[in-house]
Amino acid sequence: MAKLGACMSNFIDRRLNSKNKSTVNRQRFIRRYKSQIKKAVSEAVNKRGVTDITSGENITITKKDLTEPIFHQGTGGIKDRVHPGNDQFTTGERIARPPQQQGQGGGQGDASDSGEGNDDFVFSISKDEYLNLLFEDLELPNLEENQLDKMTNYKTVRSGYCPKGVISNIDIVKSLQGSIARRIAMTADKRRQLKALEEALILLEQDRHENTREKNKLKKNIDIIKDKINRVPFIDSFDLRYRNYAKQAVPTSKAVMFCLMDVSGSMDQATKDIAKRFYILLYLFLTRTYETIDVVYIRHHTKAKEVDEHEFFYSPETGGTIASSALELMLEIIAQRYNEKEWNLYGAQVSDGDNWTDDSPRCQQLMREHILPKTRYFSYIEISQRAHQSLWQQYAQIADHNDAFSIEHIKTLEDIYPVFRALFKKKNIQTA
């Protein structure tokens, strides 16, 4: 008889979904290994430019982290095995490990001509999956849903039951409950009469005397009442209940992000490139996560200027450094266009830390007295390889006493994404 070897099979669901794609197993795989995939995505973001969003990503998961369930056929049957004895060990005795550096396979022997294994698993994710995993668990702190006057978003919610509707919305359980309640209410009196007649009939049957006429009369009345009970319909159109749906207005979370970037002469091309990459990552996060969001771009050297997206990233204009000019322009724009009672205000300032010394206390004053009382959250990111200067020192005094203000330091490209996650990681903070 031929021996059957071990058989291993992997089952892949090829059934098509509504979009003619087989995604069931793929989605299950992403859910099962989400932690490994998120870790691989976090590592991959430092290997590619944050501006490269036109494609997905090939991520690698080590074989040891994969524990896919498989079907296999065992050897089965009854087997006789002969084990060699020994004269050194007894039952239950612990066998010591062999001494280190005395085994074979230390890299000096010959290659094996047998055996098999598996390399690390490479998994491809799409652009949307890549960005969703990249920005997962991130949010704008202290965001409030406060817009009810110009509401345009609605969601469909359950609104109880109604006696009329389309057949697809019928609720069978609720309808049957109504049917039971109606039949109980309509037959309650008749059932009490029936019970009394049946009890009277039992007493007559137990009587020694012949009461044929009375018995027949009781039986006739019992049959009449049972017939009346049975005539009550099991279900009626009155019992039908349909699920009712209504549109509910959803308050919108109107938010604006002020992007303040230092473009002075001390900002070399490498520093500007890091700043631009940070702002591009911030822009992707805001536009993919929130529907109602405005982004205001402000460039500054000695003077601040509101610019569009293209000029913000590509304008070659430069000069000296007065950081307070950007903060003052931000306050002017808020007063003109963004009421803090209607908008959630946020700010992100990127600089190399170089600022006119006499201007740094002015920046602290503007931030503490005017900007932070109006904004939900403000972050300052310093990009430099040298020691912190006066602007960082002034801002650090605010960060020590206000949780709605944070400062972070970026040295290299690899620090962009960790700093970004640290700034916008989901957390519960309150503005001072």
Q: Which 8-state DSSP code applies to residue 99?
A: P
Contact 424, 141 (CB under 8 A): yes
Q: What is the mean pLDDT of residues 95-119?
A: 55
- Region of poorest pLDDT, from 26-30, 145-149, 166-170: 145-149
Give tens-digit pLDDT for 3-20: 444 444 445 555 555 454
> Is the alpha carbon torsion for 107, 109, 111, 117 positive or negative?
negative
C-alpha–C-alpha distance, residues 230 and 245, integer Å: 36
Contact 339, 366 (CB under 8 A): no
Task: Kindly provide the b/e burial profile for residues 178-199, where b requires at least 16 CB atoms within 10 angstroms of the residue's own CB.
Answer: bbeebbeeebeeeeeebeebee
C-alpha–C-alpha distance, residues 409 and 367, integer Å: 19
Tokens of 291: 């529907």
Task: Kindly provide the b/e burial profile for residues 201-226, where b requires at least 16 CB atoms within 10 angstroms of the residue's own CB.
Answer: beeeeeeeeeeeeeeeebeeebeebe
C-alpha–C-alpha distance, residues 356 and 367, integer Å: 16
At 168, which amino acid appears? S
C-alpha–C-alpha distance, residues 411 and 382, integer Å: 8
User: pLDDT value at position 72?
Assistant: 65
Helix (H, G, I), strand (E, B) or coil at 360: helix
At 220, which amino acid appears? K
| The pLDDT of residue 198 is above 70 | yes
Full-model pTM: 0.54
Give tens-digit pLDDT for 373-427: 999 899 999 988 888 888 898 999 998 888 889 899 988 878 888 888 888 887 6
Tokens of 29: 């795989």
DSSP string, 239-257: G--EEEEEEEE--B--EEE
**Nearest 10 degrees: Cα torsion 10, 16, 22, 27:** -100
C-alpha–C-alpha distance, residues 293 and 5, integer Å: 62
Task: Kindly provide the b/e burial profile for residues 81-97, where b requires at least 16 CB atoms within 10 angstroms of the residue's own CB.
Answer: eeeeeeeeeeeeeeeee
Q: At what angle do helices 416-424 and 269-289 cross, to 10 degrees?
A: 40
Residue 418 belongs to what H/E stretch? Answer: helix 416-424
Phi and psi torsions of 306, nearest 5° = -80, 130
User: Which residues, including other chains, have CB under 8 Å from residue 45's CB and lie 6 or more apart?
Assistant: 134, 417
C-alpha–C-alpha distance, residues 247 and 386, integer Å: 57
| The pLDDT of residue 228 is above 60 | yes
User: pLDDT value at position 428?
Assistant: 53
Phi and psi torsions of 151, nearest 5° = -80, 130
Burial class (CB in 10 A: 0-12, 13-18, 19+), 138: middle
User: pLDDT value at position 424?
Assistant: 82
Give tens-digit pLDDT for 245-294: 888 766 667 788 999 998 888 888 888 888 888 888 888 888 877 777 88
Q: Which 8-state DSSP code applies to residue 96?
A: P
Tokens of 393: 């020192």
User: pLDDT value at position 432?
Assistant: 35
C-alpha–C-alpha distance, residues 43 and 409, integer Å: 19
Give tens-digit pLDDT for 34-45: 666 666 666 665
Give tens-digit pLDDT for 110-154: 544 444 544 455 656 666 666 666 666 677 776 665 554 444 567
Tell me, letter by letter, the H, E, C secondary structure of 18-51.
Answer: CCCCCCHHHHHHHHHCHHHHHHHHHHHCCCCCCC
Instruction: Give the mean pLDDT of the chain.
Output: 76
Tokens of 10: 């992997």
